[in-house]
Amino acid sequence: MKEKREGLGLSLREASKLSGVSHTHIRDIEGGRSVPSFEMVKKLNKDIEYRIVVVVMEKKKRYR
């Protein structure tokens, strides 16, 4: 999960703001100190999906 987040250029705090999950909880999940619930995984996936859409939109604007 950390690799995906960092690959999208998101800090822990940015991922927290987008997903509504505290940055400390995200850190603990990434560090293997916490196992996320299904609902938590859904929230975090929304964060990643949102960021992917933003990146794609930015790239489209550049190539127009």
Structure confidence at residue 64 (pLDDT): 62
Structural domain spans, the chain = 2-62
What pLDDT, in 10s, does the model give residues 1-45?
A: 788 788 878 888 988 888 888 999 989 999 999 998 888 888 777
Half-sphere exposure of 37 (CA within 13 A, CB side): 4
To the nearest 10°, report the CA torsion of 29, 32, 38, 43: 20
Q: Which CATH number fits domain 2-62: 1.10.357.10, 1.10.260.40, 1.10.10.60, 3.30.530.20?
A: 1.10.260.40
